[in-house]
Chains A and B, each alone.
Chain A
Amino acid sequence: MPAEIGHVALLLALAAACLQSVLPLVGAQRGDARLMAFARPAALAQFALVALAFALLTWCYVVSDFSVANVFQNSHTAKPMLYKVTGVWGNHEGSLLLWVLILALFGAAVAAFGRNLPPPLAARALAVQAMIAAAFLAFMAFTSNPFERLDPVPAEGRDLNPILQDPGLAFHPPFLYLGYVGLSIVFSFAVAALVEGRVDAAWARWVRPWALAAWASLTLGIALGSWWAYYELGWGGWWYWDPVENASFMPWLVGAALLHSAIVAEKRDALKSWTILLAILAFGLSLIGTFLVRSGVLTSVHSFASDPARGAFILAILAVAIGGSLALYAWRAPTLKPGGAFAPMSREGGLVLNNLLLSTACATVFVGTLYPLFLEGLGGAKVSVGAPFFNATFVPLMIPLVAAMAVGPFLAWKRADARAALRRVALPAAAGALAAIACALAAPPAPALAYVGAALAAMLAAATIGEFAARAGTLRRALGLPRAAWGTAIAHLGMAVTVAGVVASAAWQSESIGLMRPGESVSIAGWQVTFRGTELARGANYTARRGLFEARRGEGSALRLSPAKRFYPSTGSTTTEAAIHGSILGDLYVTIADPAEAGPQGANARFLFEAPTDAAWAVRITHNPLVAWIWAGAGLMALGGAVSLTDRRLRVGAPTRRLRTARA
């Protein structure tokens, strides 16, 4: 029964979305207040219906109702409760439902908190938002119904892919979708502005909080995914330039560019049509990401089961949404009045440089991700250009970007005194040089790029702190500075921390791979790691062979590390569980592969469980310096976004209205 109610709720939501996408638009065109006012209750009803459907699907998972095909294919009675719930979005249909839920949530948020918006803008934006929702609800209704029934009812489910049964991944999609879908609001506002033919400082101020919220969520989502890949794929890498990762990274890059160009649009009334274009592209790239993940046009390690019919449907949505909005852009954007002029050497100029670098970076990722597809069109096939391409194209763009981040905040609006700015950057630059020298003295030799990276990270951190301190003067005055200034400083500092982590973990990683017999030890980066043997362990729905290791540094007491190889009988697959001892200075990362006698079959269940106790195991131990900084920095960036979101200035017509009343 719940499945049928859920299905009906989805269809009703589709109907609500269809009405919401037409009536308010007509109302705004005719100036009919009643038709415009229809948008708000429709958006709230649509959200309530989708939320009901989502709750019912979750319920089917919780009680393991295998009469629902989706539950049968992705769940199992023995699965821990956490993964029963998170399994709801661990598959194509369920994740699509989550996507639509967040889409409706954002629409409802605009309806509930956007009362200060001019009614025509709000009505048009909500109508555009409803068009997107209607497209995806129809997509679900016609190709991917999560509530499809099975008859006869199977006794047991097929289980979720074990590699996805992990807390890090369980919460990665919701954040990622908050980011993707949050950009849909910015997109809706951009299209609404194009329809109105007016973009002004007020528009930029209304859009910025949504862009900030979306970007901060996307940052968290990407960081969680990267962290998961780091410890779960058992590889020690934290970014693979996989198409699915790139699909989330491209909207992030464009979103970052959008945040900065919206500042110029708000403060100086310039870069308006560029900001609109970025708003369209940011959401367009989110849609393209969805298309790539679900249509199977690209091969990826973690794409969903793909289906050309679904691909064709998403491609149609893509063509209408992005093609339509870009056509509207080509038609209306030239009529937008150009705003304030500025000299190349100015804060605006710095932000333009930032935008150019970020969008070029996004373009290189786009080319690298889609090159295989283009090749396929020319008669080639699914190949990967991989890390060598991205290292050669993306990394060189990040060097001027980080340098510009250090210098930019020192420049004045409109026209800056270049010499004065350079004088103020001198100290941070010295800090950077010092950091590079310190690395050269204290750490083993590394490629030149590593020292450049270390210098840039230190320079960015010093410049950010220096600029903030100069603005604040005293601690008391610092507390009185606008939240946006705090947000900028925190986010830029986060970038410096991430860069430091990326550079250190790439350049100064130490590694030992080899066969180890019980009792043998290896020394790495000051640690003495001893292999004590293996044991069998049992979890709720898996059996594991666990390696027992002791790590010791100097005279300190021994640390126990137990990496494992898990076998999930329900799907017949194995996963590698890394053992990580993390600290602020670096991670000791241990994985076991196979017993040496396993032969070319690798880790099949028999060899995993019948290996003799004195067997030699393939063991990989790495020390990854500062690797945790990568995610800590991403956390700071997201925090910076959140702090900036609480700025007074954004509270006019923004979702943070409630804070003001709470404070009063």
Chain B
Amino acid sequence: MRRALFLLPLLCFAAVATWFAFGLGRDPSRIPSALVGRPAPAVALPPLEGAQRPAFALQPGRVAIVNFFASWCAPCKVEHPTLMRLAAEGRIAVHGISYKDAAADSARFLAQLGNPFETIGWDRDGRAAMEWGVYGVPETFVVGRDGTIRHRHVGALLDDTVARVLVPMVARLERE
């Protein structure tokens, strides 16, 4: 029994190392969603105070992306320039939902890094995120002109993914 106790650290380490090995060769951003093909959940969120944008609302007839972010999230900082560029191109409507974050912190995040969003919802307790099936931040959804979710991207959205996946997809959705 005493010996088994001394084996415990080794077993824990073996488990962790196995996970590490798993983590090495995966493409982390591909993940199916039960919501793809379904209408985007209707969520009523207050606007983000201090961000000078209207409350989150999707505009029917326009392809949109919806990005869940938070000021405490490091990958969100990484993907932010990509969102800024997407917004600057003006082709896609970029909407944001601040996830489990103090309004002042989210507003500061946007004031400092720039605000790519047309409308912003403040999801203080993560209720809306649950409706959308979000695991954590950042996550990004593509919504078609008919208001259905077409694609889900988990993790930081990088320029490479945008060029490879998002741009062709949006072009297709706009023709629909």
Contacts and interface: CB of A to CB of B under 8 A. Distances in A.
Tell me the interface secondary structure of chain B in the complex.
helix
B153 to A, nearest CB: 9
A356 interface: no
A425 to B, nearest CB: 34
A392 to B, nearest CB: 11
Interface residues of A, number: 63
Interface stretch (A107-115, A254-262, A293-301): A293-301
Given A330-B9, A383-B139, A602-B114, A301 B77 contact: yes
B10 A327 contact: yes
Contacts of B72: 240-241, 384, 386-388
Contacts of B135: 375, 380-381, 383
B156 interface: yes
B114 A601 contact: yes
Nearest to A280: B9
B20 A373 contact: yes
Interface in B1-52: 2-3, 6-7, 9-10, 13-14, 16-17, 19-26, 28-29, 31, 50
B111 interface: yes
B23 A376 contact: yes
Contacts of B6: 273, 329-330, 333-334
Task: Give 4 closest A-B pairs by Cβ, nearest first.
Answer: A383-B136, A602-B114, A386-B72, A382-B155
Interface in A352-391: 370, 372-377, 379-388
A649 B104 CA distance: 53
Given A299-B74, A384-B72, A384-B137, A513 B155 contact: no
Contacts of B78: 299, 301
Nearest to B7: A330
A154 interface: no
Interface string B125-159: 00000000001111100000000000000111000
B114 A326 contact: no
B107 to A, nearest CB: 7
A638 to B, nearest CB: 27
Interface string A290-321: 01000101011100000010011001001100
Interface of B: 2-3, 6-7, 9-10, 13-14, 16-17, 19-26, 28-29, 31, 50, 70, 72-78, 84, 87-88, 100, 104, 107-108, 111-116, 135-139, 154-156
A323 B19 contact: no
Contacts of B20: 291, 295, 297, 315, 318, 373
A23 B114 CA distance: 60
A593 B112 contact: yes
16 contacts: A235-B112, A273-B6, A291-B20, A315-B20, A318-B17, A374-B19, A376-B22, A376-B23, A381-B29, A381-B31, A382-B29, A383-B135, A383-B155, A598-B114, A600-B114, A601-B84
